[in-house]
């Protein structure tokens, strides 16, 4: 056993896993409140990634010579805000009118919306793979060695930012008034309503936060890999698995689920074969659904009488 290689693989897994986790949070938060699997969420991630790319490209085109960290900050703010608006719009247009309908109607709407968004982006930006401007990717590509483990700055950036965003989310949900309202609505929407919590506002807010996190994941993804109109499909599915793995509806569960899925995938691809990555990911989904449907950390199921 080569420990250096093992360490490298775990680091590889944590990097992609933290992106899964950022997307998975949106799935799990929406599920927690609406019991809806928002399959259009993967597309929000994809659009967030394109918004980030567009912002950086615009800054370059306008010769606004911001230092790299500042330009990245602008890209994150624009993409996260844009995605938040998109998430709220999706909820307002596609889900709110159907909220009283059977769950199946919502699910199908979500799938349909996902296809609409995917194809809309395809028509706007085309089909080819795009990369973030080289100035940004090259700034992050190098790194240093600790023993046999090569750590790139990009990996540190990804993990660090994901950690910061997850901490902020935890504080928001646990400590703020809106967080309390979200938790109350998730537990029992009717009672929460009777206590004067406006469900529509809470739900819109939840979509906004989940979408903003997905957009942040999208920029991290774009800085690391290449993006096209199709990335939301696979990343969305993986994040969905991560959410189920951690226990859908459970916020820390989505974080843990994302990281675990990333690491397991990396170990599978690294020690078994690169072709087994998806088999392993979807295998996990099946096993979890059979043996522990409530996920690793469990779902907070409110008994409805």
Query: Please, what is the minimum distance in Å from the beta carbon of residue 78 to other proteins?
Result: 23
Q: Does 128 bind other proteins (CB under 8 A)?
A: yes
Per the CB < 8 A criterion, the answer to whether 14 and 261 are in contact is no
Using CA atoms, how far apart are residues 15 and 149, in angstroms rounded to an integer?
A: 14
Binding other proteins (rule: CB under 8 A), the pick from 143, 189, 193, 283 is 143
CA distances from 30 to 35, 44, 95, 210, 250 (A): 7, 13, 11, 8, 10
Does 61 interact with other proteins (rule: CB under 8 A)? no
Asked if 167 is part of the footprint of other proteins (rule: CB under 8 A), the reply reads: no
| Binding residues for other proteins restricted to 92-111, rule: CB under 8 A | none
Return the residue of 94, 137, 178, 283 that touches other proteins, per CB under 8 A. Answer: 137
Residue 133 CB partners (closer than 8 Å, separation 6+): 56, 57, 60
Which CB sits closer to other proteins, 152 or 170?
152
From candidates 101, 187, 191, 226, binder to other proteins by CB under 8 A: 226
For residue 152, state whether it binds other proteins (rule: CB under 8 A).
yes
**Least spacing, CB of residue 282 vs other proteins, in Å:** 12
Q: Which DSSP symbol is given to 40?
A: T
Give the 3-state secondary structure of residue 293.
coil
If one asks whether residue 230 binds other proteins (CB under 8 A), the answer comes out as: yes
**What is d(CA 131, CA 217) in angstroms, rounded to the nearest whole number?**
15
For the CB of residue 153, give the shortest distance to other proteins in the complex, in Å: 10
The most distant pair of C-alpha atoms in the chain lies apart, rounded to whole Å, by 61
114 lies in the site for other proteins, by CB under 8 A: no
53 touches 227 (CB < 8 A): yes
Q: Which C-beta is closer to other proteins: that of 107 or that of 149?
A: 149
Q: How far is the CB of 270 from other proteins (least distance, A)?
A: 4
Per CB under 8 A, the segment of 42-50, 96-104, 221-229, 294-302 that binds other proteins is: 221-229
- Rule CB under 8 A: is residue 267 a binding residue for other proteins? yes
Asked if 147 touches other proteins (CB under 8 A), the answer is no
> Taking the mean position of all CA atoms in its chain, how far away is CA 220?
11
Residue of the chain from 81, 278, 285, 297 that contacts other proteins (CB under 8 A): 278
C-alpha–C-alpha distance, residues 17 and 20, integer Å: 5
Question: Is residue 170 within the footprint of other proteins (CB under 8 A)?
Answer: no
Which residues are CB-contacts of 34 (< 8 A; sequence separation ≥ 6)?
95, 99, 106, 203
Interatomic CA distance for residues 225 and 176, integer angstroms:
35
* Vertex 82: Cα angle to 80 and 83 (nearest 5): 65
> The tokens of 25 are what?
């949070």
12 binds other proteins (CB under 8 A): yes
Residues 171-210 that bind other proteins (CB under 8 A): none
132 — alpha (psi -120 to 50), left (phi > 0) or beta?
beta
Among 28, 49, 114, 155, binds other proteins (CB under 8 A): 155
Residues near other proteins (CB under 8 A): 2, 5, 8-9, 12-13, 15-16, 122, 126-129, 131, 134, 137-138, 141-143, 145, 150, 152, 154-155, 221, 224-226, 228, 230-231, 234, 265-271, 273-275, 277-278
């Amino acid at each position: 056993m080569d420990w250096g290689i093992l360490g490298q693989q775990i680091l590889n897994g944590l990097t992609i896993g933290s992106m899964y986790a950022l997307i998975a949070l949106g799935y799990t938060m929406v599920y927690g409140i609406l019991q809806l699997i928002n399959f259009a969420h993967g597309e929000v991630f994809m659009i967030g990634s394109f918004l980030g790319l567009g912002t950086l490209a615009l800054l370059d085109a306008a010769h606004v010579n911001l230092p790299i960290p500042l330009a990245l900050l602008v890209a994150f703010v624009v993409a996260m805000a844009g995605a938040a608006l998109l998430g709220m719009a999706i909820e307002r247009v596609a889900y709110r009118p159907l909220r009283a309908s059977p769950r199946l109607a919502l699910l199908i709407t979500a799938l349909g919306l996902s296809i609409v968004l995917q194809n809309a982006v395809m028509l706007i930006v085309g089909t080819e793979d795009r990369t973030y401007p080289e100035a940004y990717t090259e700034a992050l590509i190098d790194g240093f060695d600790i023993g046999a483990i090569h750590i790139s700055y990009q990996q540190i950036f990804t993990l660090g930012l994901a950690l910061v965003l997850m901490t902020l989310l935890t504080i928001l949900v646990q400590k703020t008034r809106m967080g309390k309202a979200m938790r109350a609505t998730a537990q029992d929407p009717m009672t929460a309503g009777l206590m004067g919590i406006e469900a529509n506002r809470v739900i819109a807010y939840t979509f906004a936060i989940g979408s903003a996190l997905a957009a942040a994941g999208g920029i991290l993804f774009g800085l690391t890999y290449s993006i096209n109109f199709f990335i939301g499909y696979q990343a969305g599915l993986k994040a969905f698995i991560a959410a189920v793995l951690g226990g859908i509806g459970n916020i820390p569960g989505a974080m843990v689920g994302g990281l675990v899925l990333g690491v397991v995938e990396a170990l599978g691809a690294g020690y078994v074969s690169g072709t087994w990555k998806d088999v392993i990911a979807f295998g996990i989904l099946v096993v979890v659904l059979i043996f522990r449907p409530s996920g690793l950390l469990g779902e907070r199921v409110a008994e409805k009488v």
